[in-house]
Structure 1
Amino acid sequence: MYKLKYILLLLCCACYTVKAGIKHPLHVSTTEINFNAKDKSLEVSCRIFSDDFEAILAKLYKQKIDLGNADMKTEMDGLVKKYLLSHLQLKANGKAAVLNYIGFEIDHEATNIYLEVEKITAIRSVEVNDTILYDMFDDQMSIVHVVKGSMRKSTKILYPEKKFTANF
């Protein structure tokens, strides 16, 4: 619990520095995976600092990136989907899971991306392979939460590590 409070404090400080116009010193993304027993699915959300995310998309895809521009929404959806599906993979109960891209939204200084894995009747383990922004920063930290009912497994993955397995 102490580690989680510390990480939340760091995220708040990072958000403040971005809002104040100061380049944030923390390179972090957050991925949360929730097992929805009713819908028999894994609901996945990723939160990435928008300036970092736009920078890596521009670097990789060599085009103008503006995630907040409504006129470019369809084009940006394609790039966000392409990037996320190549930098986030899941295994559910030891089997590769197919991530379906739902969409993204801008929330202040962050971009929230939503994905889903369908037809998961029960969950015993979730393996996460996360390399979000690894191609941009060698001090990248990925915070991963896997939630099943009232049970929550969390960790931080520091570059160059990329895997976390939550067993229930």
Structure 2
Amino acid sequence: MKMMLFILLYGMGNYFAEDNAVRHPFHVSNTEINYNAVDKNLEISCKIFTDDFESALEKTYKQKADFSNKSMESQMEKLVKQYMKDHLAIHVDKKQMLLTYIGYEVDREAVNIYLESPYLNLPKTVIVQNTLNYEVYDDQISIIHVIVDGKRNTKKITFPARLETFNF
């Protein structure tokens, strides 16, 4: 019985430890790009583990990043906006999209980031360049979903790759 209690407590301690690799051994982000035909708009959302994202922001910009600190919200908005500009690019039908940063929200252990870009025509080819968290993890995987005209196409970009092409 003592051994079972030890194993349970040890496992819980590892789960709540500060070591990121122990908390989630996979370094994954998720990006969804949805073409809204009614609004003629690309709607983009990215989900990144909070601790991984804070590490990437700190390493990139050499300053403290803390999504749980309310007094840092303004600073975090600036950091997230700049980071997304530097690490996510989308080309549609050979034209680079100007991504407008909408904002972010923290959802438990992840940060959701929202962007958009106007696009008038139904996209035929979407090229995604994604280097989220590449400065901190050499095993980073980015799952990319592109939805056009109700058709969902999913691919992954694995470090060190940076690009993936979606055809509709």
Please tell me whether residue 163 in structure 1 is matched to residue 163 in structure 2. Answer: yes
- Of structures 1 and 2, the larger Rg is shown by 2
Note the aligned Cα RMSD (angstroms).
Answer: 1.6
Correspondence for 2:117: 117
Q: Is the 8 A contact 2:99 2:116 kept in 1?
A: yes
Is there any run of 5+ residues in structure 1 with no aligned partner, and where?
1-16
CA distance, structure 2, for counterparts of residue 45 and residue 61 of structure 1: 22
Q: Is the 8 A contact 1:29 1:142 kept in 2?
A: yes
Report sequence identity in percent.
Answer: 47
Correspondence for 1:60: 60
Q: Is the 8 A contact 2:122 2:149 kept in 1?
A: no
TM-score by length of structure 2 reads 0.85
Letter in 2 for 1:33: I
Secondary structure of the residue aligned to 2:78 is helix
CA distance, structure 2, for counterparts of residue 156 and residue 86 of structure 1: 19
The residue correspondences of 1:6-85 to structure 2 (distance < 5 A) are: 20-21=15-16, 22-85=22-85
Letter in 2 for 1:124: K
TM-score by length of structure 1 reads 0.85
Please tell me whether residue 88 in structure 1 is matched to residue 88 in structure 2. Answer: yes
Runs ≥4 residues deviating over 6 A: none
Secondary structure of the residue aligned to 2:115 is strand
CA distance, structure 2, for counterparts of residue 69 and residue 103 of structure 1: 16
Letter in 1 for 2:129: N
Is there any run of 5+ residues in structure 2 with no aligned partner, and where?
1-11, 17-21
Secondary structure of the residue aligned to 2:52 is helix
Deviations 1:8-67 (A, max 9, x none): xxxxxxxxx9x9424210000000000000110100000000001001111221222111
CA distance, structure 1, for counterparts of residue 120 and residue 28 of structure 2: 29
Q: Is the 8 A contact 1:42 1:118 kept in 2?
A: yes
